[in-house]
A and B are shown apart, each in its own frame.
Chain A
Amino acid sequence: MKKFVELTSRIVPLPIENIDTDQIIPARFLKATTREGFGENLFCDWRYDVNRVERPDFVLNNPLYKGQILVAGKNFGCGSSREHAAWAIQDYGFDVVISSFFADIFKGNALNNGLLPIQVSDGFLERIFEAVAKDPETRVLVDLYAQLVRLEASGDQETFEINPYKKSCLINGYDDIDFILNQRDAIEIYEAKIAG
């Protein structure tokens, strides 16, 4: 799994609430049998018109905004469990998603792929949107060790929560399967107990 420790980057703002995984990657693109290439259809129906011409009003098509951090409205990633949503965001080039609320399954999927979901307060999210509206070149620093997210220019910052196990997975690039495979004995003891 991809490691994550620290990042300072410009940000891409998407101040819409309840962005579901069907918006992130529509079902008709889920026919692929590998994990690669989903980035080109990230937010497809917002990004392109029916003739696959870029919609100039969508943020990914606006040359003012770029960066490895996506900042979105609350309840990000609701709906379908498709991990393709996390793959698409990562494949496009994002390493972090900041929101004031994440849907459970998306959050788990992101963490299992080294894409860091950061939950901040509603107020801090609002201040990030305000900062980037004033200055599209606004940069944000993310420090996973310190569990800290900071607007670089103003120094306005907030700490965030992350499960300590998941934190160590991200920092070391380990995944859950590596962890559970080492517990094979415990699993077989459990099975014997249930069968007995």
Chain B
Amino acid sequence: MGKTLVEKIWDAHVVKSDAGFPDILYIDTHFIHEVTSPQAFDGLRSRGLPVFRPAQTIATADHNVPTVDQHLPIKEELSRYQVDMLTKNCAEFGVELYGLGHPFQGIVHVIGPELGITLPGATIVCGDSHTSTHGAFGCIAFGIGTSQVEQVLATQCLLQQKPKTMKIEVNGTLGKGVTAKDIILYIIAQISAAGGTGYFIEYTGSAIRALSMEARMTICNMSIEMGARGGLIAPDDITFDYVKGREFAPTGEAWDTAFAKWKTLYSDEDAEFDQTLNFRAEDIEPMITYGTNPGMGMGISKHIPATADQAVSEQPSFQKALDYMGIEGDTLLVGKPIDYVFIGSCTNSRMEDLREVAEFVKGRQKAENVTVWIVPGSKQIEQQAIAEGLDQIFEAAGFHLREPGCSACLGMNEDKIPAGKYCVSTSNRNFEGRQGPNSRTFLASPLTAAAAAITGRVTDVRELLEETVYA
């Protein structure tokens, strides 16, 4: 019997597999950031250990950095201390750091691919659940806790149970105004916020194959929102073309060797998955979430589900979510006034996202009562956006292009949505208080978020796309 792609990559990275124990899995690339690493470095110190393979760990500051005036010292004392601690730890242990002010700084899951550090067939971990993003290149990539960050720093390995595998196939052609973000929000709404727990998901099908690398990253990024540790897409010419020529991608002979290996990275035809699901691209419309977990999403034209229609055991939690959001079941969300729009995060802060938003808002003006933040995923994206004049388009529309970081996705820095306010956000989580205490989040695509910015209401972007043709 053939092997799935996950099995191929996993088996190639097993250092040791003993009955009754988890496998010892070798980690090719380890990303760290300021929030989940300090306690791991402390652990090394108390055990008297060095970083075992410092060249295989790359650090950046992203979660807790301001998105304005990054050239100045961080104002907030605790945040400054945490970022300084990362600098100190990296210097002491010999780890490369792309910190504030460095031209490569940015959200960890944006810079890895952008710099050609993320490569097909690799095992990649980071103390952040959205590490699944890197799976878009055909990697086993997953988020870990701080004890495991310490484990990888100390040994370049992790003790891991081999995961179950799920295949999600999406075939067909996406409709107007429907993007990768809508595909993944649709899948999560279908299988729930826990439906992928215990699995690595391989996304296949013609609708996935047609996507760019940036769109594929959006899909894999949100695998964790259905509980899956990781999601991946077999690499193809779109992948290889993206990787080739990037800062740290292999060149010359090393490229040829790597390329020959990468071409074997696919699930064999007779490989068996533990579960297979099929969806039709034509069934997907622009999506929006209404509740307090990413599984509580729906097509934008639909009515919010009623509590009475939920399973009895789930009704209290469901009603609690609607109460928190200040909405009622069996009503439309379209037309609901909103206060903020956030375009950013490791889900949707890449060049394509910014270009798509710029093209849509060119010549349009944001609604008066709405605040719009655009936070690029990296310094390189910010510079590219300025070089292409997108900053001018945003400014003319009343949008604010800020500096790179995780920002209002998790409200750890000062970019918080105020209590009770509504934000249409291109990020990945709509949990209670995620974007600031008592903030209310509607997750959507960059296009749907941009449409809400223009009208000041939850809007079906298709109605504003009449004159524009989107491929």
Which chain A residues have a beta carbon within 8 Å of chain B's beta carbons?
15-18, 20, 22-23, 26-28, 30-35, 45, 50, 73-75, 78-84, 86, 101, 103-105, 108-109, 112-113, 122, 126, 163-165, 175-177, 179-181, 183-184, 186-187, 190-191, 194
Contacts and interface: CB of A to CB of B under 8 A. Distances in A.
27 contacts: A17-B317, A18-B194, A22-B431, A26-B433, A27-B410, A31-B64, A33-B39, A34-B38, A35-B39, A50-B437, A75-B227, A80-B410, A80-B429, A81-B143, A82-B35, A82-B36, A83-B145, A103-B227, A108-B148, A163-B22, A165-B22, A175-B147, A176-B147, A176-B151, A177-B147, A181-B155, A191-B26
A54 to B, nearest CB: 16
A81 B145 contact: yes
Interface string B54-91: 00000000011000000000000011011001000000
A108 B39 CA distance: 17
Contacts of B292: 18
Nearest to B146: A83
B154 A177 contact: yes
Contacts of A122: 313
Given A22-B429, A33-B81, A104 B24 contact: no
A104 B193 CA distance: 12
A191 B55 CA distance: 14
A50 B436 CA distance: 12
B293 A18 contact: yes
Contacts of A34: 38-39, 42
Nearest to B37: A33
A104 B22 contact: no
Interface in B165-224: 193-194, 197-198, 224
Interface of B: 15-16, 20-22, 24, 26, 35-36, 38-39, 42-43, 47, 49, 63-64, 78-79, 81-82, 85, 127-129, 143-148, 150-151, 154-159, 161, 193-194, 197-198, 224, 227, 229, 292-293, 295, 313-314, 316-317, 320, 410-412, 419, 429, 431-434, 437-438
Given A50-B437, A187-B24, 16 more contacts: A22-B432, A30-B35, A31-B35, A31-B81, A33-B38, A34-B42, A50-B419, A79-B129, A81-B128, A101-B194, A104-B229, A122-B313, A165-B20, A176-B147, A177-B154, A183-B24
A79 B292 CA distance: 12
A23 B151 contact: no
B107 to A, nearest CB: 14
Given A104-B227, A105-B129, A105-B145, A163 B161 contact: yes
Contact of A28 (B47, B156, B412): B412
Nearest to B317: A17
A100 B209 CA distance: 37
Nearest to A108: B145
B355 to A, nearest CB: 29
A194 B21 CA distance: 23
A20 B429 CA distance: 10
B54 to A, nearest CB: 14
* Top 4 closest pairs, chain A to chain B, by CB: A83-B145, A109-B145, A33-B38, A31-B78
A23 B431 contact: yes
Given A18-B317, A164-B20, A105 B144 contact: yes
Nearest to A32: B78
Given A180-B159, A186-B15, A104 B317 contact: no
Given A83-B36, A176-B148, A104 B438 contact: no
A177 B15 contact: no
Contacts of A16: 316-317, 320
A181 B154 contact: yes
Contacts of A183: 15-16, 24, 155, 157
B449 to A, nearest CB: 21
Contacts of B412: 27-28, 30-31
B159 A179 contact: yes
A181 B52 CA distance: 11
B101 to A, nearest CB: 20
Given A22-B432, A179-B159, A187-B156, A101 B147 contact: no
